[in-house]
Structure 1
Amino acid sequence: MCLIVFAWRQHPSASLLLAANRDEFYERPTKAAAYWSDAPQVLAGRDLQAGGTWLGVSHSGRFAAITNIRDPAAEDGQALRSRGELTTDFLTDTQGPGDYLADVARRRGEYQGFNLLVGDQEGLWYLHGNSDERSEPQALAPGIYGLSNAALDVPWPKVQRARHRLRDAMTNTQLPDHEALRACLNDRSLADPESLEKQNLFGTMARQLSAQFIVTPRYGTRCCTTLRQHADGALEFQEQRFDSRGELQGTEVFALNTRSKA
């Protein structure tokens, strides 16, 4: 997962509105969003190489998402644990989000760099898990946030565009639908080199990855997930999947009620 934009407690009828693009190599085997046979309470896509997920929800109202971060302190080829287990463990556990992230923070050195979002019906929390920074778990205040492969709300151009578009989608009283949420992240244009240099990003690859929706032959945006968590506990989950040409390959649609604990 490489780009997430979300509104936390910014709409009177929805506690969470979210859109997230997962960027990954196309050769990495992946299963589309579904309920897991070995953890039936979990709804998520699945990385079949390591067994975890980049984003998921549970019937008890738990939510988790992760992005990788550029971590110069991590050695190339170092045998570390899969970051996808951090989301999976939270979705299948009962520990509160703050306590869970405090535990993860103590053992962040077992993983390459990550940004981790976890929440339940009581709160939404964030941890910047860079091995050379000792940041602490953060309970998020109501607001509109953007997250990519740096810390929360670092003003990369594609993150800024996503936040502005989500804010614009919420200017009227009507709740943004899933199409409107996906539109916050579907810009395939590249940032100009000057704006990237201001963020210490240089070269052809950095420019290719500057698009919100990435299309290259080997690596790109493989899916876009959108969530609408209603105040009454109803949750809408949609996933669209794309091939290496950026063409739609399928859509998964789910609706669940998270009021009852599971």
Structure 2
Amino acid sequence: MCLIALAWRPGHALPLLVAANRDEFHTRPTAAMAEWPDAPGLIAGRDLQAGGTWLGIGPGRRFAALTNIRDPHAEQGSRSRGELPLRFLLGNQGPEAFLNELRREADEYSGFNLLVGDRHALWHFNSHGGQVQALPAGIHGVSNAGLNTPWPKLERAKAALAAVQDEPDEPSLFALLADSTKPDDAALPDTGVGMELERLLGSVFITSPTYGTRASTLLFIYADGTRRIIERSFGHDGRPSGEVRFER
């Protein structure tokens, strides 16, 4: 998962609203979001190469989402980051306790951001910064750097989410995730991958023959515990290839 915009509003009828894109190589085998037969109550996409996930909901009204940190010069971890959302979703620790325990083994993974919580609490951990923090109410976003790092595509997504958060509808939320606007070169971050790749990765929605936005996901978590999650999949040409939805 490479871009997550969210509205976190404790005490609201809709405490958590999430709009997220997963960007990945098109050759990486993936199963669309579903309830996992080997983990009842877990609803998530599945990385068929390493076995993990990038975003999902689980028993106990749990939520978890992951993004990678883009740093081509960093040492690569020995374990798959995709196991991290699963560990929280299928566990019984609270968000803060889970992330504080994870801090001690974070160097076993390549760089990541992890969001974990439910309708009552939402916590974030960035493995490069090492800080476990409860998110304050508001509009937040994370891509492949830190929480709320002002990359142009993340700022666009957050602004679009803020504009519809009072009356969030699926078409508007999917539209913000489909934004293919390319920022000016001067506004792009320098993450060490070269300007050509920075341009490709600079939009909310990414399209190329080899790498791009594979799925867009909307998640609504209501104060009464009801959850609605919708995933739209895309092919290498950026066209929709399927959609699934679940309500729990």
1:141 aligned to which of 136, 140, 150: 136
Within a 5 Å distance, the mapping from 1:89-238 to structure 2 comes to 89-130=87-128, 133=129, 135-170=130-165, 173=166, 175-196=167-188, 199-201=189-191, 202-238=194-230
Q: Which amino acid aligns with 1:191?
A: P
Is 1:240 the counterpart of 2:232? The answer is yes
Give the aligned partner of residue 24 of structure 1: 24
Q: Do the aligned partners of 1:223 and 1:241 also contact (CA within 8 Å) in 2?
A: yes
Q: Distance in 1 between matches of 2:100 and 2:77?
A: 23
1:177 Cα deviation after fit: 1.6
Runs of 4+ in 1 over 6 A off after TM superposition: none
In the alignment, the residues of structure 2 paired with residue 195 and residue 91 of structure 1 have an alpha-carbon distance, to the nearest angstrom, of: 36
Aligned partners of 2:184 and 2:73: how far apart in 1?
28
Deviation at 1:157, TM superposition (A): 0.2
Describe the superposition over 1:77-114 as per-residue Cα deviations: whole angstroms up to 9, x where unpaired: x4610000000110000000000000111111100000
Aligned alpha-carbon RMSD (Å): 1.4
1:73 shift after superposition: 5.5
Provide the residue aligned with 1:259 in structure 2.
Answer: none
> Deviation at 1:70?
1.9
Q: Alignment identity in percent?
A: 49
* Alignment match, 2:65: 65
Give the Cα–Cα distance (whole angstroms) in 2 for the partners of residues 79 and 23 of structure 1.
Answer: 20
Larger CA deviation: 47-56 vs 64-73: 64-73
Note if contact 1:18-1:181 (Cα within 8 Å) is conserved in structure 2.
Answer: no
Q: What's the counterpart of residue 260 of structure 1?
A: none
Q: 1:177 to 1:224 in 2, by over 3 A?
A: same
Matched-pair contact (CA < 8 Å) for 1:178–1:227: no
User: Is the CA contact (8 Å cut-off) linking 1:57 and 1:63 kept in structure 2?
Assistant: yes
* SS of aligned partner of 1:95: coil
Aligned partner of residue 154 in structure 2, secondary structure: helix
Aligned residue identity for 1:241:
S
Structure 1 spans left out of the alignment, 5+ residues: 257-262
Aligned residue for 1:45, secondary structure, equals strand
| CA distance in 2 between partners of 1:74 and 1:12 (Å) | 40
SS of 2:177's partner is coil
C-alpha separation in 1, matches of 2:3 and 2:119: 23
Q: TM-score, normalised by structure 2?
A: 0.95
Equivalent residue letter for 1:136: Q
Partner AA of 1:45 in structure 2: G
Following the alignment from structure 1 to structure 2, what is the Cα–Cα distance between the partners of residues 53 and 248? 20
- Which residue number corresponds to residue 55 of structure 2? 55
CA distance in 1, matches of 2:195, 2:138: 33
In the TM superposition, residue 121 of structure 1 has moved relative to its aligned partner by 3.1
Distance 2:220 2:234 in 1: 21
| TM-superposition CA deviations, 1:185-220 (whole Å, max 9, x none) | 211121110111xx3355111101101100000000
**Number of residue pairs aligned between Structure 1 and Structure 2:** 246
Q: Is the 8 A contact 1:10 1:144 kept in 2?
A: no
TM-score, normalised to structure 1, is: 0.90
CA distance in 1, matches of 2:171, 2:216: 11
The separation in 2 between residues aligned to 1:24 and 1:253, in whole angstroms, is: 21
Q: What letter matches 1:159 in structure 2?
A: L
